[in-house]
Amino acid sequence: MIELSKYKSETRPDWCPGCGDFGVLNSLVQAVSNLNIDPKDLLVVSGIGCSSNLPGFIHAYGFHSLHGRALPIATGARLANPDLKIVVTGGDGDGYGIGLGHFVHAMRRNLDLTYIVMNNQIYGLTTGQASPTSSKGFATKSTPTGVIEEPINPIALALISGATFVARGFSGDPKHLTDLIEKGITHKGFSLIDVFSPCVTWNKINTYDYFRQKCLKINGPEYDTSNFDQAFVKSREMEPKIPIGLFYETQRPTYEDQDPALKAGNPVKAKLGPPDTKRLLQEFY
């Protein structure tokens, strides 16, 4: 196990005191430490939002990209250097709003990425507007009389879009969340870990106490994580309890396994030199 201090960044987190994202950061650091992932072999990619500041708070390679574009950036990095462990971090607005199209396509391709979404059911960085996961009726700055739309169900969406590892955690339960992140990183294929991460400033409904009373862990001996139909039924449960844990895991070829361009090996380790133009031209004869 690599010492936790090896992942300590010189930049201190600037989240509001009590923000659930602290728990996600700590669980991620604990997970990569337990897995002996050297900081030089880890890349953390994010979009825009409070949660998307996370790459700056961990000593590893990091890329703070555009709003909703974390997954395309991570895809490019993954195809350029398949030896890296790549973790994508962001929020519900970033990933399930403007970035939703990228989310679906990354899952159907089954890229070997781990996507941790800090789902606080509000836009925190822009001071409290409704997000794609805000509950119907929730009053916010942008919906003073209550949200009139149905919320996105990221677990169900991930299942039907082809993600091969689908889980949900709670930042107030760090041991459980660390275990989920470890499993997601070691899984070969696209891993979604949706995390209830309370916004203590702008969301006074979905609080730590709310989730502690509402969440119920699955994955007991009676739960088969390879059963897609069971996982889909479970993904739609919200009452009386909200299930957290590993909903579904399966194996199928990753995008990288099937990409002809990667058959020759890691592109960043390829020897540079003048192109073999004669052989290239012969391919078109």
Q: Which is nearest to 166 in space by CA: 189, 145, 140, 138? A: 189
Output the pLDDT for position 57: 97
- What is the rounded average pLDDT of the residues 77-98? 96
Output the pLDDT for position 228: 97
Output the pLDDT for position 59: 97
Per-residue pLDDT tens digits for 180-194? 999 999 999 999 999
Neighbouring residues of 45: CB distance < 8 A, sequence distance ≥ 6: 55, 62, 63, 65, 70, 73, 74, 77, 86, 87, 88, 89
- What is the rounded average pLDDT of the residues 207-229? 94
Q: Any idea where the domains of the chain sit in the sequence?
A: 4-282
pLDDT at residue 116 tops 90? yes
Output the pLDDT for position 280: 77
Output the pLDDT for position 276: 76
- What is the rounded average pLDDT of the residues 225-237? 96
Pairing relationship of beta strands 242-249 and 165-170 according to DSSP bridges: antiparallel
* Residue scoring higher pLDDT (283 or 52): 52
The CA–CA distances, whole Å, from 38 to 2, 32, 57, 84 equal 7, 8, 16, 10
pLDDT at residue 285 tops 80? no
Output the pLDDT for position 281: 84
Q: What's the whole-model pTM score?
A: 0.94
Q: How confident is the model at residue 279 (pLDDT cuts 50, 70, 90)?
A: confident
Neighbouring residues of 130: CB distance < 8 A, sequence distance ≥ 6: 122, 123, 138, 140, 142, 143, 147
Within a 10 A sphere around the Cβ of 226, how many other Cβ atoms?
10
CATH topology of domain 4-282: Rossmann fold (3.40.50)
Per-residue pLDDT tens digits for 20-45? 999 999 999 999 999 999 999 999 99
User: Percent of the chain, pLDDT > 70?
Assistant: 100
Output the pLDDT for position 125: 93
Q: How confident is the model at residue 5 (pLDDT cuts 50, 70, 90)?
A: very high
- What is the rounded average pLDDT of the residues 99-107? 97
Per-residue pLDDT tens digits for 46-76? 999 999 999 999 999 999 999 999 999 999 9
Per-residue pLDDT tens digits for 124-164? 999 999 999 999 999 999 999 999 999 999 999 999 999 99
Output the pLDDT for position 255: 97
Output the pLDDT for position 35: 97
